[in-house]
Structure 1
Amino acid sequence: MEVYFLGTNAGVPSIQRNVTSIALRLFEERRTFWMFDCGEGTQHQVLKSPLRLGKLERIFVTHLHGDHIFGLPGLLSSRAYQGGTAPLTVYGPPGLKAFLEVSLNISQSRVPYKLDIVEHTGGLIFEDEGFKVEASLLDHRIDSYGYRITEKDRPGSLNTERLREWGLKPGPAYGRLKKGLDVTTEDGRVIASKDVVSEPKPGRVVTILGDTRPCPAIVPLSRGADLLVHEATFASDLADLAHDYHHSTTIQAAEAAREAGAGELVLTHFSSRYSVLDDLLPLLDEARTVFPDTLLAEEFRLFPVVRRADKPAGK
């Protein structure tokens, strides 16, 4: 479970950075990846990355501003050329379906795979045996959502060494024990699952926010997240400008991470006025005065999602 940035700029592309798109790589968990927002030029960014659109399973759109959706029609129509024949689902606010249907129909784009467009207004958006995704409305000029991605708890590990000592060989009995079921051996001995299976391993949580000013929805959505992705369009000296344009500052993002008890904070969606990395480093320093475990998003940089309980002390 890893977060990978394809674009980190706000509003318009710049020479140094593309507009917003984030991939959540789930290669180990389900051999796919999910995408959050798809700004103009995202498919070009994908071509420069280790990602392949044939592995793209779901797209979650935070809001319908162009720097978050203008890359969708092109990416959807060209996905099949990268082996994307499996079904694909796109989630987002009302209006997304009309945007995509008009764009694809007028351009006579051929989409040779099953494409589902799911509009929502928050709540539980998706759930299966491995993950669930919830959304909440934020505070932006148009409806903008944040997404909380929760990995379901994983079963504990089977103590195979003890089972071998007891004479139980690998087979269906191992599977029953892993599922929490007790097993009776041929000689009548009962082996309790709780005696040979460790405690379940808690799932990880990632929160990815759309554009927003500070608002009450952020903290519940981010509560206890192992990794929080929060926009930081401006430095703190431009707080008034951030408020007027319905965006957040570095300090506001850091305060949200601290209040939510997040494990790590990754800042993204930077104004073009911060054109190079040296311009962004003061933003990082600002945020770290409030929340030390803060990182800067960078194009083509991978951020592993580490359980807070698994992080080394002092990290």
Structure 2
Amino acid sequence: MEITFLGTSSGVPTRSRNVSSVALRLPQKSEIWLFDCGEGTQHQLLRSDLKSSQIRRIFITHMHGDHIFGLMGLLASTGLAGAKGQVDIYGPPELKDYLNACVRYSHTHFASRVQVHPVQPGVVFENDQFTVTCNPLKHRIPAYGYAVTEKDRPGRFDVEKAKALGIPPGPIYGDLKKGETVTLEDGRQVSGKDLCEPDEPGRKFVYCTDTVFTENAVDLAADADVLIHEATFAHQDAEMAFERLHSTSTMAAQVALAAPVKQLIMTHFSPRYAPGNPIRLNNLLEEAQAIFPNTCLAHDFMVYEIPRHRD
């Protein structure tokens, strides 16, 4: 599981930061799952090592323009480029109406390639490898955070150990790999669990933006390997954060600490903290690290590999 930040600014783009979008690459499935799609996201994809043709799912947190204005352009461009695979889009109920209006007035046609799924708190998608859940956040309009949880992977089956026990290769190996107990021709009973390494715990990725501090974010991020959380404002601008229902650096750190998570990556920074201003982004980092040391700042095209669990 590899994260690429395609946009890390809040509200408007800057010279060095585009508006919100994060890509989660799943190498085992050759798929990319996109979280938010601000204006210019397709240009950011072109500048990255990602292939837009691999985008399989898009998760939208809320209907503010800096999170959705790039969606229609991306879908249209991939369609014109000949992409034929289905794209499933998840987001607030209004998202379907928005895309239908864009289709109507731009005369763009997706046929059945694009499917829109309105989300509600709870599980929004599940397959044999991943579960995606969402929780409502606290913003000026309905907004959702998303958690992607990788299911545990079965431990490696020790073929040499099985052979040493005199178990002949064949369909019986499949049952043993599942951890089942089988009876051999000589009457011996063998448990597959004794021939398999321990299961490899799955990883958890959480994306929360836009929101002021909320316990819903803490619940969603519980025990996550990585939490991406907005930090629009510095701590001294907390009054402004509460007025606009955005987070400060310290709020993001408090969520990470309470969850708890292994790594906090802050994003969605106000342009007011650009170089030359009294408060810089490094100040936001220092504020957060005072609460949750394992914190870093995202920047456009930053890549973060979520490590696997090792005993």
TM-score bracket for the superposition, by shorter chain length = over 0.9
Q: Distance in 2 between matches of 1:38 and 1:127?
A: 22
Call closer, same or farther: CA 1:179–1:39 in 2, change over 3 Å: same
Greater shift, 160-169 or 222-231, is seen at 160-169
Does the CA contact (< 8 Å) of 2:16 and 2:300 recur in 1?
A: no
Instruction: Report the counterpart of residue 177 of structure 1 in structure 2.
Output: 176
Q: By how many angstroms is 1:108 displaced?
A: 0.9
Q: Distance in 2 between matches of 1:43 and 1:169?
A: 53
Q: By how many angstroms is 1:276 displaced?
A: 4.8
Q: Distance in 2 between matches of 1:147 and 1:130?
A: 16
Q: Distance in 2 between matches of 1:138 and 1:126?
A: 19
1:98-117: CA deviation from partner (whole Å, max 9, x where unpaired): 10011022101132552110
Q: Does 1:212 align with 2:211?
A: yes
Which secondary structure state, in structure 2, belongs to the residue aligned with residue 267 of structure 1? strand
Q: Give TM-score, length-normalised by structure 2.
A: 0.94
Instruction: Report the counterpart of residue 3 of structure 2 in structure 1.
Output: 3
Q: Distance in 2 between matches of 1:104 and 1:170?
A: 56
Instruction: Report the counterpart of residue 222 of structure 1 in structure 2.
Output: 221
Which secondary structure state, in structure 1, belongs to the residue aligned with residue 272 of structure 2? coil
Q: Does 1:155 align with 2:154?
A: yes
Instruction: Report the counterpart of residue 13 of structure 1 in structure 2.
Output: 13
Does the CA contact (< 8 Å) of 1:84 and 1:113 recur in 2?
A: no
Q: By how many angstroms is 1:188 displaced?
A: 4.4
Instruction: Report the counterpart of residue 47 of structure 1 in structure 2.
Output: 46
Gapped runs of 5+ residues in structure 2? none
CA RMSD of aligned residues (A): 1.9
Which secondary structure state, in structure 1, belongs to the residue aligned with residue 273 of structure 2? coil
Q: Distance in 1 between matches of 2:192 and 2:124?
A: 34
Q: Distance in 2 between matches of 1:106 and 1:47?
A: 26
Amino acid at match of 2:213: P
Call closer, same or farther: CA 1:170–1:113 in 2, change over 3 Å: farther
Instruction: Report the counterpart of residue 248 of structure 1 in structure 2.
Output: 247
Q: Distance in 1 between matches of 2:26 and 2:296?
A: 21
Q: Distance in 1 between matches of 2:211 and 2:146?
A: 13
1:70-125: CA deviation from partner (whole Å, max 9, x where unpaired): 00001011113455211111000121001001102210113255211011232211
Q: Distance in 2 between matches of 1:89 and 1:119?
A: 11
Q: By how many angstroms is 1:215 displaced?
A: 1.4
Does the CA contact (< 8 Å) of 2:130 and 2:149 recur in 1?
A: yes
Which secondary structure state, in structure 2, belongs to the residue aligned with residue 39 of structure 1? coil
Instruction: Report the counterpart of residue 145 of structure 2 in structure 1.
Output: 146
Which secondary structure state, in structure 2, belongs to the residue aligned with residue 310 of structure 1? coil
Aligned residues: 309
Q: Distance in 2 between matches of 1:230 and 1:198?
A: 35
1:139-181: CA deviation from partner (whole Å, max 9, x where unpaired): 1010011011111111111112211222445443322211122
Aligned counterparts, 1:258-277, within 5 A:
258-276=257-275
Instruction: Report the counterpart of residue 298 of structure 1 in structure 2.
Output: 299
Q: By how many angstroms is 1:46 displaced?
A: 0.5
Instruction: Report the counterpart of residue 60 of structure 1 in structure 2.
Output: 59
Does the CA contact (< 8 Å) of 1:138 and 1:144 recur in 2?
A: yes
Amino acid at match of 2:31: T
Amino acid at match of 1:302: V
Does the CA contact (< 8 Å) of 1:24 and 1:33 recur in 2?
A: yes
Does the CA contact (< 8 Å) of 2:86 and 2:113 recur in 1?
A: yes
Instruction: Report the counterpart of residue 284 of structure 1 in structure 2.
Output: 285
% same residue:
45
Gapped runs of 5+ residues in structure 1? none
Instruction: Report the counterpart of residue 24 of structure 2 in structure 1.
Output: 24
Q: Distance in 2 between matches of 1:174 and 1:292?
A: 46
Instruction: Report the counterpart of residue 96 of structure 1 in structure 2.
Output: 95
